Structure 1
Amino acid sequence: MFNTSAIQYPKFKLAILALLALNAVIYGFTDTLTSFTDALVWLVLLVIYELEANNVELPLGETAMRHLRSSLIVVIGLVFGSYWRDNEWLDIANSALWFGLIAILETEVRWPDYVRRHERLFWLATIATFAGLLAMAGIWLARGAWLDGYDALLWIVAFGFIEVDIFHLLKRKHAV
């Protein structure tokens, strides 16, 4: 198995992960297969990023983990193609913003020295991406798409607090 002792999970992180898993199940029963796949793949990707961020020793090597992340991102790309095919423009815009966030995270994982040299640029890109994602959640809520709005807000909280550590990110503003 793998060593999880490196993770010090506060209860709110576990609650967020449980709510995301519940969301995937809800989408599985109430929405399309595409929405269910989208929710499930993003959840797995979030867990992988969290484990890697906490230096948890996984049974797969670094190369295998990179391939797994890349495969999940390909599935997310296929879901995006489905949204495009069906002219689901809010989902397309939302996916594009999440692709931006994944690009930022992948760059941080794969080329940390580059990110350190361009810290201000990555900080601004991350803030802009989260602002766009908040706008998307607001649009869904304003349209009465409660599950989509709730799901969007929950994912923002999940990535903001679990992966990106939004408090640390906002503190960097003063240091940059």
Structure 2
Amino acid sequence: MATAEFFLSYPKFKLAILALLTLNIGIYAAVDTMTTAVDALVWVILLVMFELETVKAAPFTETTLHAIRNGLIVVIALVFGSYVRDNEWLDVVNSLLWFALIVLLELEVRWRSLVERHRQVFWLMTVAVFVGLIGMVVAWLMQSAWLDAYDALLWIAAFGVIEVDIFHFLKLTRD
């Protein structure tokens, strides 16, 4: 599918979420630390890569995608290390929850048969991670960290709509 054709057929709410996440990178660069801006940038790139893989529109070979993903994971690990070093515990817990979600998504993509055999456990773990992520929004609101709360809520929406396809996920729970 041609790039222009892909974007014309792509749901507008997904594009809006990606645009807002991209805007957050600039906001973090302007009003927060470079670490949070880099963190936001790397996660947006990772999200786009997952989505391109999912819709079979990736402009790279599988080897290149894995190399890029591995590089992004290294950057994410370095950012995580800086959160630990700087005692930014809300960011540490938030990162751990996102790591868990990525592991669950990878399991679903790479070991589908394992997930199918343990569908209820997988579903419960996914719900627990999302509950934890919603708890992070509440924690940031209680700290009056409005940008972090908004960003966290936007990321929950992004993964719920773009990656997990929350409507499909909820349908699985009724099967």
TM-score by length of 2: 0.93
Deviation at 1:130, TM superposition (A): 0.6
Q: Percent identity?
A: 60
Deviations 1:115-160 (A, max 9, x none): 2222222211111101100000111012110000000000000000
- Segments of structure 1 that go 5 or more residues without pairing to the other structure are none
Name the CA distance, whole Å, in 2 between partners of 1:6 and 1:119.
Answer: 32
Report if aligned partners of 1:6, 1:55 keep a CA contact under 8 Å in 2. no
1:101 aligns with 2:101: yes
> In structure 1, how many angstroms separate the alpha carbons of the residues matched to 2:133 and 2:70?
22
2:70 equivalent to 1:73:
no
2:54 equivalent to 1:53: yes
Residue in 2 that maps onto 1:174? 174
8 Å contact 1:41–1:76 — kept in the other structure? Answer: yes
Deviates more, 1:145-154 or 1:71-80: 71-80
User: Unaligned 5+ residue runs, structure 2?
Assistant: none
Change (3 A) 1:114 1:3: farther
**Equivalences for 1:1-176 in 2 at 5 Å?**
3-4=2-3, 5=5, 8-56=9-57, 58-175=58-175
Quote the offset at 1:114 in angstroms: 2.1
2:174 match: secondary structure: helix
Distance (Å, rounded) in 1 between the aligned partners of 2:60 and 2:11: 25
Q: 1:157 and 1:129, CA in 2 relative to 1: closer, same or farther beyond 3 A?
A: same
**Counterpart AA for 1:42:** W
Report the alpha carbon displacement of residue 6 of structure 1 after superposing the two structures with TM. Answer: 5.9
- The one-letter code matched in structure 1 to 2:32 is D
- The CA distance in 2 between the partners of 1:113 and 1:66, in whole Å, is 22
- 2:170 partner letter: L
Compared CA separation, residues 154 and 163, structure 1 to 2 (3 A): same
Shift of 1:110: 2.1
Q: Give the 3-state SS of the residue equivalent to 1:46 in structure 2.
A: helix
Q: What is the number of residues matched between the two proteins? A: 173
Aligned AA (1:139): A
Determine if contact 1:6/1:54 at 8 Å carries over to the other structure.
no
The alignment partner of 2:172 has SS state of helix
Amino acid at match of 1:51: L
Distance 1:68 1:108 in 2: 20
Q: Distance in 1 between matches of 2:61 and 2:107?
A: 19
